[in-house]
């Protein structure tokens, strides 16, 4: 299992070891021991899975406010997504900056997104399944969001279409109008 740094402190790309043979392949998708070897000590308590039928579906940008902020370990198990993390920690040198990566069922890569970051993804194919681990339970009373195309963040989403959005995501606020309590 490899852990690769990104332009955002503590946002890591995780590449599990894949063991192929004549039947197919096997991999450990998560290992507490391997994370602890890297001094990464999250206690994941909830696994999520979502299905998106249409290419160009965009879920995000989401986060849960403190005290229910979530670290997420995201992977795509069917199709392909462009997965994005945005630093929203007040005082962070990378505040408002984003990192994006293609996560696909083929490349088996994962993205580790700590508390204090907003998360979102755009599907690059039809029939996409995303699975992710969270270190805090769902808390709708702490639900937070930022508009997917906030010009102050300027995420370079890879598909130039009007995305399929939830009603909530269509009317999400700009980062400058979000009140949150994340401090670097």
Ligand X SMILES: Cc1cn([C@H]2C[C@H](O)[C@@H](COP(=O)(O)OP(=O)(O)O[C@H]3O[C@H](C)C(=O)[C@H](O)[C@H]3O)O2)c(=O)[nH]c1=O
180 scored as a contact of ligand X (CB under 6 A): no
- CA 45 to CA 48: how far, in whole Å? 10
- Number of helices (H), then strands (E), belonging to the chain: the values are 2, 13
Instruction: Give whichever of 50 and 90 is closer to ligand X, judged by the CB atom.
Output: 50
Q: Is 42 a catalytic residue?
A: no
Kindly give, in sequence order, each residue whose CB lies less than 8 Å from that of residue 19, ignoring residues fewer than 6 positions away: 25, 26, 27
CB of 134: closest distance to ligand X in angstroms? 7
48 scored as a contact of ligand X (CB under 6 A): yes
Instruction: Find, among 1, 5, 26, 9, the residue nearest to 117 by Cα.
Output: 9
Instruction: Give whichever of 34 and 97 is closer to ligand X, judged by the CB atom.
Output: 97
Catalytic residue among 42, 62, 119, 180: 62
Binding-site member from 55, 119, 133, 180 for ligand X (CB under 6 A): 119
Retrieve residue 143's tokens: 């639900």
- CA 132 to CA 57: how far, in whole Å? 17
Binding-site member from 98, 121, 148, 182 for ligand X (CB under 6 A): 121
Cis geometry, peptide bond prior to residue 73 (ω within 30 degrees of 0): no
Total binding residues toward ligand X, as defined by CB under 6 A: 11
- CA 75 to CA 104: how far, in whole Å? 7
Q: Of 33-41, 86-94, 118-126, 170-178, which segment contacts ligand X by CB under 6 A?
A: 118-126
Q: Is 51 a catalytic residue?
A: no
CB of 82: closest distance to ligand X in angstroms? 12
Query: What Cα–Cα distance (Å) separates residue 159 from each residue in 46, 109, 140, 155?
Result: 30, 20, 30, 11
Q: Of 54-62, 104-112, 150-158, 173-181, which segment contacts ligand X by CB under 6 A?
A: 54-62
50 scored as a contact of ligand X (CB under 6 A): yes
Interface ranges with ligand X (CB under 6 A): 48, 50, 59-60, 62, 72, 119-121, 138, 166
Provide the annotated active-site residues: 62, 132
């Amino acid at each position: 299992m490899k852990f690769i740094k990104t332009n955002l402190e503590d946002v890591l790309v995780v590449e599990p070891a894949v063991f192929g043979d004549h039947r197919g392949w096997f991999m450990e998708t998560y290992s507490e021991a391997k994370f602890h070897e890297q001094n990464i000590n999250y206690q994941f308590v909830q696994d999520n899975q979502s299905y998106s039928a249409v290419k160009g579906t965009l879920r995000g940008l989401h986060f849960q406010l403190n005290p229910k902020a979530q670290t997420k370990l995201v992977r795509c198990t069917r199709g392909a997504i462009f997965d994005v993390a945005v630093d929203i920690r007040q005082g962070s040198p990378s505040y408002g900056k984003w990192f994006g990566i293609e996560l696909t069922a083929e490349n088996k890569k994962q993205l580790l997104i700590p508390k204090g970051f907003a998360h979102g993804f755009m599907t690059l194919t039809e029939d996409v399944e995303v699975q992710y681990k969270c270190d805090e339970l769902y808390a709708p009373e702490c639900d937070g969001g930022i508009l997917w195309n906030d010009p102050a963040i300027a995420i370079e989403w890879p598909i130039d279409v009007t995305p399929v959005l939830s009603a909530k995501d269509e009317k999400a606020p700009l980062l400058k109008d979000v009140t949150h309590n994340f401090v670097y």
